[in-house]
Amino acid sequence: MTILVTGATGRIGRQVVDQLATRGADVRVLTRDPAKAAFPTGVDVAQGDLLDIDALRAAFAGVRTFFLLNAVTGDEFAQALVALNIARECGVEHVVYLSVFDADRAVNVPHFAVKSGAERMISQMGFSATILRPSYFIDNDLMIKDVILEHGVYPIPIGAKGLAMVDSRDIAEVAAIELLRRDRAPGLLPLETINLVGPDTLTGTSVATIWSELTGRTIVYGGDDPSGFEQTMATFMPKWAAYEMRLMAERYVSDGMIPAAGDAERLTTLLGRPLHSYRDYAASIVAAAKR
């Protein structure tokens, strides 16, 4: 059967498509602008979005399993619920949903609350589902590399509790493995939740230390106050989104993103290899900057 991937042109979705195609899956993607999409040979491209009912019904034709990834937007919850309802209407049985770490606890952060609600709907609607809960993405820090390398500051207020940062490559590969496991199962499988974490739990200070060691110069941590972070984010995103980033940073500082016992080991077993580390990712950025 066909596996439908939403959010397929983004950082995670594109890698999920590649992973599925490499493993010989029959893949369809849903995208607003097929002309701008470049996917592996054999991937079926459907035009539309998660609020386009007719396009969704067409995209779900012949689909047994789908990957639900929708961006942080003002209508994120509506997108998720519409997609889930149309999926059930069209006979989809299996869902792999990209949620967020501690979605059910950090409910004052809008997109955490949205994902918690979507998780609840997936459970109550009776899907055979895997809920993926990634921690902070390691590769988010690509957007601040110039601040780190040129100004000597790690600016994101991630606090002293620690974040088990995860690489997007690991997220995508786990998603593909779970999609195929469910799609190829002879029947429905029980709902499972997987925390997606990295091999190390890092604080603002320890991240700055990694950058200092790799660059050979002092990189300082910018501190735990998220107000300046909000102001910076507001220079290139809507103010509501910048405020949401502040709320998320406040949760980093107050609670961190601490893996449960066995989380990392579960992932290494699933992947059959070590998890990508923050240090290795940062080292690749430093090496590229020296070329």
Distance of CA 89 to the CA centre of its chain: 26
Residue at 231 is within a domain: no
Residue at 158 is within a domain: no
Do residues 171 and 134 lie in contact, with contact meaning Cβ atoms separated by under 8 Å?
yes
pLDDT tens for the chain, 291 residues long, are 899 999 999 999 999 999 999 999 999 999 988 887 889 999 999 999 999 999 999 999 999 999 999 888 889 999 999 999 999 999 999 999 999 999 999 889 999 999 999 999 999 999 999 999 999 999 999 999 999 999 999 999 999 999 999 999 999 999 999 999 999 999 999 999 999 999 999 999 999 999 999 999 999 999 999 988 899 889 988 999 899 999 999 999 999 999 999 999 999 999 999 999 999 999 999 999 987
CA angle 15, 123, 3 (to 5 degrees): 35
Residue at 191 is within a domain: yes
Distances (CA, A) of 44 to 28, 114, 166: 4, 29, 29
What φ, ψ does residue 270 adopt, rounded to 5°?
-65, -40
The CA distance from 144 to 139, in Å, is 10
Tally Cβ neighbours within 10 Å of residue 24.
9
Distances (CA, A) of 249 to 151, 161, 243: 21, 12, 10
Distances (CA, A) of 201 to 196, 224, 247: 12, 17, 21
**DSSP code of 138?**
G
Distance from first CA to last CA of the chain, Å, rounded? Answer: 45
Residue at 41 is within a domain: yes
29 is in which domain, residue-wise? 2-135+166-196
Residue at 245 is within a domain: no
Give the pLDDT confidence score for residue 97 in this predicted structure: 98
- The enclosing domain of 72 has a CATH number of 3.40.50.720
Residue at 64 is within a domain: yes
- How large is the C-alpha radius of gyration of the chain? 19
- In the chain, the amino acid numbered 119 is E
Residue at 211 is within a domain: no
Q: Is pTM, for the whole model, over 0.85?
A: yes
How many domains in the chain? 1
Residue 67's closest CA among 20, 134, 126?
20
Give the pLDDT confidence score for residue 37 in this predicted structure: 81
Give the pLDDT confidence score for residue 228 in this predicted structure: 87
* Strands laid side by side in the 44-47 sheet: 44-47, 26-31, 2-5, 63-68, 94-98, 128-134, 192-196
Helix extents (H) in 33-135: 53-59, 76-89, 110-124
Each residue of 33-45: b (16+ CB within 10 Å) or e?
eeeebebeeebeb
